């Protein structure tokens, strides 16, 4: 069966650092000027040298985004329904070894949480859990979907990787979007960061977005968690992964998120600092590489950065966020990570209007 | 003599159709409609939220406009049909701009699924204006299926590249007995004028107006351009001469 792993293997012996060593300013300008960028053009824009052309990249990213998406920003919010987890991801607050109050919302609690969120006008919801098939089996996810369908017109999931039939079960139940991050594409780092649990299986996770595409998802959102490994290499492979999926499944809307590691219970501190400037370079380079793909910026980022990145290629933002289970109806739970932008949906919408952008609350409905 | 465009039982004096997907705020739409003179406005059903009046785009469409819901987001004929039915059930009328797109890289329409959906929707009483890749055989099938107009793309959606499909659209104008409405790709008023001079019945514009620095002024510019192009078309354009007329004609000796 086809897999993005074949592409990763192709670049296995590619010396990215040597490539970066050869990139000149002229190469960067040539890549920015192209109508269609190839993988190496994209890598050129991710190089340390591209830093000096950041304003030009930003201008083009802005132009392309307005052209393809208009002056609009889709709004959504995450809803954590459980934090049970059998994995031991070193960077995650839900790590099985962490001393955390574990809980799973009942159907009534999901309803209460949904009511609060729906009152903000949002119609797009992202349902999240940890990875624990005994506490949160697919049947439980389906029960949650049945509740959420009554309040929202578009339901995405960010849960543990499923098999294709399981994904199909959920798309048939009303899920239309899948978010799943590879965390890092570097296989050695991946093995180190995931010392125990089913998440150790790199390949099963890597192919999950593709299984989702085949199972009828309308939108699939992928990404690398920046700060776990060399961000330039992860950004490159995340971009190629998106390109691979979009070419293989043209009827699915493929998008990316560029999340950065945040402080969390467990205290993991990334060895690699990914600066605001790096993040902007990644997002603008990706926009030039894939002009029509969505880019999501979460509340892992602070208000000032989010406000300024509205014009730099981002097409989807969260608001009124809690990263804790039942975070809106229970108030004292510990979240998966600390969020950096605590503004309500209305406050994010107001900011967007002030910037000349239309907040879009609804962009799909189950048909 | 009246030059009204007749579609689906309506007589339209403006030949500019307006798309609404990319404005910085829905509140500007009434001003753009007024400045451009547009009488037909298309709205993506996927964006309509009846439960949220302030953000519901329908709140901002002037009541005297013909509302043309579109099936944006449909990947198959079946999905498009379901979206059109939702629109009608929500009180959006019988007109539908049919869009079936299964390719997110170029956003090119799926002509085959479009024909199938046209057949179904026409049989259910919709006034169907299908968006399509310009192709004569497909256009003929759409005529047979009962489409009210045919809407070929000038170039891919949102590209502002103009009338890249000029020659194919010209063939549709010559051969198809329905209004040909160029939809997608027009970036400048001059390109809209050119489409109208060629004999297109109308032009549908979204990106070029919505993303302009001043959408209201750009709406006005497109309104004038569409008018100018139409007027030129019905006035009879002079033939284009390859060479200047010779002062000593070669056949002058024939008397």
CB B170 within 8 A of CB B136: no
Does pLDDT of B203 surpass 60?
A: yes
Burial of B31 (C-beta count, 10 Å sphere; 0-12/13-18/19+): middle
What does the pLDDT read at residue B160?
A: 79
Q: Determine, for residues B104 and A251 on separate chains, whether the beta-carbon distance falls below 8 Å.
A: yes
Long-range contacts of B228-231 (CB under 8 A, 24+ apart): B228/B193, B228/B196, B229/B192, B229/B193, B229/B194, B229/B195, B229/B196, B229/B197, B230/B3, B230/B15, B230/B196
Q: Determine, for residues A66 and B73 on separate chains, whether the beta-carbon distance falls below 8 Å.
A: no
Q: Please state, in angstroms and rounded to a whole number, the distance separating the CA atoms of residues A47 and B42.
A: 43
3-class DSSP state for residue B95? strand
CATH class of the domain whose range is B15-235: alpha beta
Candidate list B6, B97, B140, B164, residue with the active-site label: B97
Beta-bridge partners for A177: A156, A219
Q: Determine, for residues A70 and B21 on separate chains, whether the beta-carbon distance falls below 8 Å.
A: yes
Does the beta carbon of A69 lie under 8 angstroms from any beta carbon of chain B?
yes
For A286-345, the pLDDT digits (tens) are: 999 999 999 999 998 999 999 999 999 999 999 998 888 888 887 667 787 888 889 999
Share of chain A above pLDDT 70, in %: 99
Chain A interface test: which of B158, B159, B207 (most A C-beta within 10 Å): B158
With contacts defined as CB-CB under 8 Å, which chain B residues touch A251? 75, 102-104
For B3-56, the pLDDT digits (tens) are: 899 998 899 999 999 999 898 888 999 999 999 999 999 999 998 888 787 778
This prediction's pTM: 0.90
Q: Determine, for residues B79 and A367 on separate chains, whether the beta-carbon distance falls below 8 Å.
A: yes
Mean pLDDT within A52-70: 95
What does the pLDDT read at residue B242?
A: 60
What does the pLDDT read at residue B244?
A: 66
Secondary structure element (H or E) that encloses residue A256, with its range: strand A253-257
Residue of A nearest to B157 (CA): A68
Does pLDDT of A100 surpass 90?
A: no
What does the pLDDT read at residue B241?
A: 63
Does pLDDT of A124 surpass 60?
A: yes
What's the gap in Å between the CA of B207 and the closest CA on chain A? 7
Residue for token pair 């190839």: A38
Query: Is B10 an annotated catalytic residue?
Result: no
CB B55 within 8 A of CB A121: yes
For B144-194, the pLDDT digits (tens) are: 999 999 999 998 877 778 899 999 999 999 999 999 999 988 999 999 999
What does the pLDDT read at residue A93?
A: 87
Q: Determine, for residues A292 and B22 on separate chains, whether the beta-carbon distance falls below 8 Å.
A: no
- DSSP per-residue string spanning A55-112: HHHHHHHHHHHHHHH-SEEEEEEEEE-B-------TT-TT-TTS-----B--HHHHHH
Does the beta carbon of B27 lie under 8 angstroms from any beta carbon of chain A?
no
Does the beta carbon of A311 lie under 8 angstroms from any beta carbon of chain B?
no
**Residues 6 or more apart in contact with residue B214 via CB below 8 angstroms:** none
Residue for token pair 């089913």: A198
Q: Please state, in angstroms and rounded to a whole number, the distance separating the CA atoms of residues A317 and A315.
A: 7
With contacts defined as CB-CB under 8 Å, which chain B residues touch A67? 158-160, 207, 211
Number of CB pairs, chain A paired with chain B, less than 8 A apart? 78
For A260-270, the pLDDT digits (tens) are: 988 888 888 88
For B16-31, the pLDDT digits (tens) are: 999 998 988 889 999 9
Q: Directed axis angle between helix B166-175 and helix B136-145, to 10°? A: 40
Does the beta carbon of A358 lie under 8 angstroms from any beta carbon of chain B?
yes
What does the pLDDT read at residue A15?
A: 96
Q: Where are the domains of chain B?
A: 15-235
- DSSP per-residue string spanning B120-170: HHHHTT-EEEEEE---HHHHHHHHHHT-S-BEE-SSSTT-----TTHHHHH
For A3-58, the pLDDT digits (tens) are: 999 999 999 999 999 999 999 999 999 999 999 999 999 999 999 999 999 999 99
Q: What's the angle, vertex CA A113, arms to CA A110 and CA A118, rounded to 5?
A: 115
Long-range contacts of A212-216 (CB under 8 A, 24+ apart): A212/A167, A212/A178, A212/A180, A213/A245, A213/A248, A213/A249, A213/A252, A214/A164, A214/A167, A214/A249, A215/A164, A215/A165, A215/A167, A215/A168, A215/A170, A215/A171, A216/A167, A216/A168, A216/A171, A216/A172
Q: Determine, for residues B26 and A358 on separate chains, whether the beta-carbon distance falls below 8 Å.
A: yes
Does pLDDT of B1 surpass 60?
A: no
ipTM: 0.83
Does the beta carbon of B60 lie under 8 angstroms from any beta carbon of chain A?
no
Q: Determine, for residues B86 and A359 on separate chains, whether the beta-carbon distance falls below 8 Å.
A: no
Chain B interface test: which of A115, A152, A353, A358 (most B C-beta within 10 Å): A358
Q: Compute CA A257 distance to the chain's CA centroid, rounded to the nearest angstrom.
A: 3
């Amino acid at each position: 069966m086809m897999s993005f792993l074949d592409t990763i293997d192709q670049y296995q012996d590619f010396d990215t650092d040597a490539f970066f060593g050869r990139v000149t300013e002229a190469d960067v300008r040539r890549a920015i000027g192209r109508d269609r960028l190839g993988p190496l053009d994209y890598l050129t824009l991710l190089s340390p040298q591209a830093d000096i052309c950041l304003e030009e990249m930003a201008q083009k990213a802005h132009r392309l985004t307005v052209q393809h998406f208009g002056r609009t920003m889709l709004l959504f919010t995450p809803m954590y329904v459980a934090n049970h987890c059998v994995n031991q991801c070193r960077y995650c607050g839900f790590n099985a070894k962490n001393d955390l109050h574990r809980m799973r919302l009942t159907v009534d609690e999901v309803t209460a949480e949904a009511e609060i969120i729906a009152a903000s006008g949002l119609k797009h919801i992202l349902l999240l859990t940890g990875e624990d098939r005994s506490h949160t089996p697919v049947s439980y996810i389906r029960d949650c979907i049945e509740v959420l369908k009554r309040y929202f017109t578009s339901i995405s999931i960010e849960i543990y990787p499923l098999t294709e039939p399981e994904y199909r079960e959920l798309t048939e139940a009303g899920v239309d979007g899948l978010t799943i991050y590879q965390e890092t594409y570097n296989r050695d780092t991946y093995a180190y960061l995931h010392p125990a649990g089913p998440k150790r299986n790199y390949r099963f996770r890597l192919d999950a977005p593709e299984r989702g595409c085949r199972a009828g998802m309308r939108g699939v959102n992928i990404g690398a968690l920046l700060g776990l490994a060399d961000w330039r290499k992860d950004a490159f492979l995340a971009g190629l992964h998106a390109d691979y999926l979009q070419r293989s499944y043209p009827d699915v809307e493929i998008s990316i998120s560029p999340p950065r590691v945040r402080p969390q219970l467990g205290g993991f501190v990334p060895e690699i600092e990914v600066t605001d400037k790096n993040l902007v370079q990644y997002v603008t380079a990706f926009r030039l590489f894939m002009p029509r793909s969505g880019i999501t910026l979460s509340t892992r980022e602070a208000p000032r950065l989010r406000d300024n990145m509205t014009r730099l290629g981002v097409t989807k933002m969260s608001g009124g966020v809690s990263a804790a289970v039942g975070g809106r109806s229970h108030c004292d739970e510990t979240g998966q990570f600390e969020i950096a932008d605590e503004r309500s949906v209305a406050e994010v919408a107001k900011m967007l209007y002030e910037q000349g952008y239309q907040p879009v609350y609804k962009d799909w409905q189950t048909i | 003599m009246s030059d009204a465009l007749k579609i689906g039982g309506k007589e339209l004096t403006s030949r500019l159709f307006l798309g609404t997907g990319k404005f910085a705020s829905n509140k500007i739409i009434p001003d753009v409609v007024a400045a451009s003179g547009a009488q037909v406005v298309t709205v993506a059903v996927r964006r309509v939220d009846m439960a949220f009046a302030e953000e519901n785009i329908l709140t901002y469409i002037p009541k005297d406009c013909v509302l043309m819901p579109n099936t944006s987001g449909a990947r198959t004929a079946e999905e498009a049909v379901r979206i059109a039915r939702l629109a009608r059930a929500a009180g959006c009328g019988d007109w539908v701009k049919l869009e079936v797109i299964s390719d997110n890289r170029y956003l090119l329409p799926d002509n085959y699924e479009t024909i199938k959906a046209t057949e179904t929707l026409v049989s259910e009483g919709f006034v169907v204006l299908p968006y399509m890749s310009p192709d004569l055989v497909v256009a003929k099938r759409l005529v047979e299926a009962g489409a009210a107009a045919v809407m070929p793309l000038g170039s891919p959606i949102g590209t502002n590249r103009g009338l890249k499909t000029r020659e194919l659209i010209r063939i549709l104008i010559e051969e198809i007995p329905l209004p040909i409405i160029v939809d997608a790709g027009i970036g400048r008023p001059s390109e809209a004028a050119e489409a109208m001079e060629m004999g297109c019945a109308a032009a549908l514009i979204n990106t070029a107006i919505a993303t302009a620095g001043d959408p209201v002024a750009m709406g006005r510019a497109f309104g004038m351009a569409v008018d100018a192009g139409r007027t030129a078309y019905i006035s009879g354009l002079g033939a284009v001469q390859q060479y200047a007329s010779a002062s000593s004609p070669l056949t002058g000796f024939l008397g």
